[in-house]
Amino acid sequence: MSINMASQTSSFLNLAADIQFLEKQPFPKYRKPKELAIFSTKLKHSEDDYEDQDGHVHNNVEHKEARAADAVTQIQIGGHNIALFMMTNEICTQIHLFIECSPYDVDNRFDDGLIVVVQKLNDVYYMHEFPTDSAIKKEGLQTEHQKLMQYWGMKFESYVTAKPAQQPKVDEPLNFNNEFGSIVYTKLNSHSMMFGGEVDCCHPNDTKKYIELKTTKQFEHARQESSFRRFKLIKWWLQSFLIGIDDILCGYRDDNGIIRHCEWYRIADIPHLLKKDPNYCKPSVCFAFLNMFLDFIKCNVQAELKPHVFIRQPKDNQFLMKVDETGHYKFLPYWFVAEAIGNKTM
């Protein structure tokens, strides 16, 4: 999405210049997330859905359009019921993840850029990501093999989460519209944060102990293993640590998508595994940058409801902030704003 609006511009952070500063910062205080609520989207396939011999699912309705766009979950804090607005097709932890990945660009956002919009309402800061033109173009150019690899990952999830008493139905078409998520509350230094994240499954003996499921290609030489730790494992750690997941089950596949073996990763052990590489990505740098980003938001986003657009252009190490005077980037629904303002005046 192109940025072209009448606005004031403020330089925020040059990652190339500030990475050394971030490396000297201690790991910010991060409170273990507390689950406040859960949510799910369970939509059935259309009657014309089918899965071909290569594992592709074809349907009449696009996956993102088929899912509920907006959802409201009632949660209770301090004895008061609060309506929490969520975009269920834009999981909130992803925004934090993209911001945290920025210092090392382990999420390949250097080529695509990043647009995060912040709106303030009743002293609460809401964040939403808008796709860049580059990201939209890349999604449209996704190859069949890339789509197939995504399918392999979801098939692995479906297989290992089959009911214990049942044999997994490997020939049953996948439903890409089902999703389960957890809404958590936590603190990063002085910043109170509430966000939701998708959850793959839970431990069979403890429904509050979530497990993240991942797949990756099995290693054929040391360089592949090093690349895995630098670009994948750090992202897996950030994604799981943010929402309070303690364990990852990884399935190692071959070039045909066949899982050859599985391995458990404890989240607490991953930072030590990362240190095996001399130029490893430091988790403390990622969280220090997120803390700096939130500090900047609190200092600079003052006007109620006015969108503040944080932009990292493709192939650029600098974040810029633009104030959207046109309202083009407003994302909070009118009904939600009206209800929030009404509750404040009551």
pLDDT at site 68: 29
State the average pLDDT over residues 44-63: 39
pLDDT band at 261 (very low <50, low <70, confident <90, very high): very high
Buried b (16+ CB within 10 A) or exposed e, 265-295: bebeebbebbeeeeebbbbebbbbbbbbbbe
Assign 345 a pLDDT band (cuts: 50, 70, 90): low
Element (H, E) at 183: strand 179-188
- Going by pLDDT thresholds of 50, 70 and 90, the confidence category of residue 253 is very high
State the helix-helix crossing angle for 15-23 and 283-300, rounded to 10 degrees.
120
Predicted pLDDT at 179: 79
* Residue 208 pLDDT greater than 50, yes or no: yes
Q: Is the per-residue pLDDT at 98 higher than 90? A: no
Say if residues 158 and 168 touch (Cβ distance below 8 Å).
Answer: yes
Lowest mean pLDDT among 45-59, 63-77, 141-155: 63-77
| Alpha carbons 105 and 98: distance in angstroms, whole number | 9
Give residue limits of the domains in the chain. 9-117+129-345
Task: Specify the range with the lowest mean pLDDT, choosing from 29-33, 63-67, 239-243.
Answer: 63-67
